[in-house]
Chain A
Amino acid sequence: MKAVIAIAHNTFRESIRDRLLYAILFFGLLLMLATIILGSISLEQDVKVIKDLGLAGIFIINFLIILSVGTNLVSKEIDRKSIYMVLTKPIERSTFIIGKFFGLAATLFVTTAIMSAVFVIVLAAKHAGLSPLIFASLAFTYIELLFLVAIALMFSSFTAPVASALYTLAFFLIGHSMTTLTRFSEQAGPFVRGAITASTHLLPNLEKFNIKNQVVYEVALSGPQVLWTVVYAAAYITVLIIIATNILKRQEF
């Protein structure tokens, strides 16, 4: 456990000292402030626009951090050989993967918290009500980010950073197209329908974490919806970390 915390702490410390992170975060904060301007040019829909763009902005900026930092998590260590020093210590390779996951998760928690704070200030300045749904949406956004960290980490354990970023992006796009795919399958032949149904069970359905419409139109979340989404994410992340660990266990350097 101590080694997991050490690797997580080290990953967190390395990422928050990376200037690229600050550049992305700075852009994100500008985006949060820009929602005020974009909201003001809409026709009495400013709060709706701010909520919509603000929540989307928080996600996109953090996703960019995953694509730039997360997809390097293991491959950079292999390229630079810094992994040699870690794996020759008396730790399991799974410890390394789990530590890396929690390290980036901590970084994203901080960046999400900073951007969320600005978002909430902007909403408060517009005298918009801060419903619990906004905080639920931020929590769901963070869970989806954890999900994408696990995907990036898995790809990072066996591919180069660019390929890893592309695969993670592909999973993100597919994960948000599940509803469309399911609708499409209803009009397709039995073979295509079967293939799509199988893939929707296997591939991650990231739409489960998207409750932005519920926030904007103030539709309450149900207890089971929250519970099952959390369980779904936890189970999928666990599987992805197990896969990443098994890949790393077979890796030679």
Chain B
Amino acid sequence: MQIALSIRNLSKEYTNFGGSHRVVSNLTLSVPRGEVFGFLGPNGAGKTTTIKMIVGLAFPTRGTIEIFGEPSNTRSVRARVGFMSENPYFYSYLTAQEFMLFSASLLNHSSIIAHERTASLLKMVGLSGATDGQIRTFSKGMNQRLGFAQALLGDPEIVFLDEPLDGLDPLGRVDFKRMIQALKKEGKTIFFNSHILSDVQELCDSIGIIHKGKLVESGPLTRIVKGRESLEEHFIRALGSKK
């Protein structure tokens, strides 16, 4: 079993005049290739900070992050990674197609490949009818879809999604879940943060629960949630025992 993501002893501290504040503390976890991994935790638990450190937007105070055995902060690794931020915001005066082509040029795609991938991904996320609309006219759901499409532009082997289901209507959530399952079938590894535990239970092979920066537990979903207990019930129980 090949490990797609390996995090070891990861800590993040922010220092200001009031002293230092530890957001992530000694986090260690690994995600096997081809799995869907749900990273759960209450608000302020350190989920987004962890994802930001993985994709290079924040720097760890201590610890290491490896993707497919290489340090995550190298360009060669970033070429194999897709990322969608929470509430993605793009260049408002660009059209969806222009934005995708711009993103493709950052991935050094040729014009032909960029156009092909743009057309197929916008179709996949349900934006093929809005390719020429300026992004500033898009709804939140459309922005989420566009964010998802750009994350997949480089045909990444591992995709990080920060709250991808947040703010979507029920139909949008169904679409997103279908797309995540399709990616899993293609053998992609998916790591996502979410508050919507029923969706996590439906999609994920394994999960990690983080609370106040510390990993409470992680492993295969079938091992963590047993019997008739739902993930939500388990989550409340797991965090309740840590209070």
- Using a CB–CB cutoff of 8 Å, the interface residues on chain A facing chain B are 2-3, 5-7, 9-10, 13-14, 17-18, 80-82, 84-92, 252-253
Contacts and interface: CB of A to CB of B under 8 A. Distances in A.
25 contacts: A3-B105, A3-B106, A3-B108, A6-B102, A9-B102, A10-B91, A14-B91, A14-B93, A17-B93, A18-B93, A81-B85, A82-B89, A84-B83, A84-B85, A85-B83, A85-B103, A87-B56, A88-B55, A89-B78, A89-B103, A89-B154, A90-B76, A90-B107, A252-B58, A253-B58
B107 A89 contact: yes
Interface in B183-211: none
Nearest to A17: B93
A7 B85 CA distance: 20
A13 B85 CA distance: 24
A80 B143 CA distance: 13
B91 A91 contact: no
Contacts of B98: 13
A5 B76 CA distance: 20
A82 B105 contact: no
A253 B79 contact: no
A67 B129 CA distance: 37
Nearest to B82: A88
Given A82-B91, A252-B59, A88 B83 contact: yes
Nearest to B162: A84
A85 B88 contact: yes
Given A2-B108, A81-B85, 18 more contacts: A3-B108, A6-B102, A10-B94, A10-B102, A14-B91, A14-B93, A14-B94, A81-B89, A84-B88, A85-B150, A88-B57, A88-B81, A90-B75, A90-B76, A90-B79, A90-B107, A252-B52, A253-B58
Contacts of A14: 91, 93-94
Contacts of A87: 56-57
Contacts of B78: 88-90
Given A85-B150, A87-B56, A89-B78, A6 B106 contact: yes
B236 to A, nearest CB: 31
Given A252-B59, A253-B58, A85 B85 contact: yes
Contacts of A7: 106
Interface string B93-120: 1100010001101111000000000000
Contacts of A81: 85, 87-89
Q: Sorted from nearest, which 7 A-B pairs have the closest CB atoms?
A: A6-B105, A17-B93, A89-B106, A90-B79, A90-B78, A90-B75, A253-B57
A65 B57 CA distance: 30
A92 B76 CA distance: 12
Contacts of A252: 52, 57-59
